[in-house]
Amino acid sequence: MSTFLTAGQAAEFLGIKPSYLRKLCHQRKVPHFKPNNGKVLFDAGELEAFVRAGRVATHDELAVHADTYLKGGAI
């Protein structure tokens, strides 16, 4: 069963201000639900996936990928 968070809880989870979270919702950059009562809810698992999707590779990881690519291997 999914755990749903309010906008305030979701903003705290993401470490951002509620106003910025509202902006992300308006821009449809963060997954959210808006049931009939009009309150915006967020699935905790989807928020975690949203955060993980923004992972930045380290220099070492990029070097390995570049070396593999230059040698003609699959990444």
* pLDDT, average across residues 28-47: 94
Strands 42-43 and 4-5: antiparallel
Specify the range with the lowest mean pLDDT, choosing from 11-20, 26-35, 42-51, 61-70.
61-70
Q: How far is CA 40 from the centre of its chain?
A: 17
Q: Are 47 and 10 in contact (CB under 8 A)?
A: yes
Q: What is the residue whose two structure tokens read 């570049």?
A: 66
Which domains are seen in the chain, by residue range? 4-70 (1.10.1660)
Confidence of residue 6 (pLDDT cuts 50, 70, 90): very high
pTM: 0.75
Left if phi > 0, otherwise alpha if psi is -120 to 50, otherwise beta: which for 29?
A: alpha
Position 2 pLDDT exceeds 90:
no
